[in-house]
Amino acid sequence: MRAPNRNASDYAYFDAPFSAFAHRGGWDENIGEELENSLAAFRHAVDDLGYRYVETDVHATRDGQLLAFHDMRLDRVTDRTGAVGELDWSQVRGARIGGREPIPTLDEVLEALPGALINIDIKEANAIEPLVRTIRRHGAQERVCVASFSPGRLAAFRRAAGPRVATAASLGAVAWSSFVPLLPRFVNAGVQAFQVPVRQKLGPVRIRVLTRNLLRTARARDMRVHVWTIDDPEQMCSLMDAGVDGIVSNRIDELKALCTARDLW
């Protein structure tokens, strides 16, 4: 039996010289910020702006329908209320993002954007099995990279999905006091990327997560480093100069312009 792929270069998902990610499906002021994670947002990023990579979180309803949706609850961005995981799909499907757009299932996103590569963050354990089934149903193993704030959720996904699906360690949820000793564990866990913020709040201070050591470790192990969520053009430039491999942004117009100017688009 072939050994599981461990390096980013083994996956077509990471073949771009730089990965520009449209955050929460690709919403911006051109379609209305309130429409985040709607199919309209995804299509705007991919069809209108030409994005290859889009980012979404996933949640599962009580009866196992997998949604491409950021929040645990409907309240903030839809015209309905309640926790997604405590509602059936029949109750959620009538909700409208920004009062207009339905919440897309991950099935619908994969079908609507057949050429897009999707970064998926698992927000709750009940989404793991539905996600594995959805990826297999669409034959989308080469089209996705799966991450989670929870090392336990990520490990469970990897066991269920197998080595064909690329995965990323999101270290933003790991306190700095634990980050350094845990780094070798993540490096050796078969993940292909670190997806991190520049800094992480720890009590009253903000600790830098994106360090030279992290970048050196990633280079030595053929891993990628993606940074979220960066909306300031000057910071985008600084991170590109530092050698990161990708940026997740809400300002997808600005990110595209900078990537184009640097011949990274």
DSSP state letters, 209-236:
-S-HHHHHHHHHTT-EEEE-----HHHH
Per the annotation, the verdict on 70 as an active-site residue is yes
Angle at 188 between CA 186 and CA 194, to 5 degrees: 40
Question: CA-CA distance, 96 to 242, in Å (whole number)?
Answer: 40
Q: Is 17 within 8 Å of 264 (Cβ atoms)?
A: yes
Q: Is 196 within 8 Å of 213 (Cβ atoms)?
A: no
Per the annotation, the verdict on 23 as an active-site residue is yes
Question: Helices (H) and strands (E) in the chain — how many of each?
Answer: 9, 13
Question: CA-CA distance, 159 to 125, in Å (whole number)?
Answer: 13
**Of 109, 74, 70, whose CA–CA distance to 91 is shortest?**
74
Strand, coil or helix: what is 136? helix
**Of 26, 17, 28, 123, whose CA–CA distance to 67 is shortest?**
123
Q: Which of 23, 44, 59, 226 is catalytic?
A: 23
Q: Which of 44, 59, 70, 226 is catalytic?
A: 70
Residue 211, CA distances (Å) to 7, 23, 167, 173, 244 in order: 21, 23, 21, 16, 11
User: What positions carry a catalytic annotation?
Assistant: 23, 70
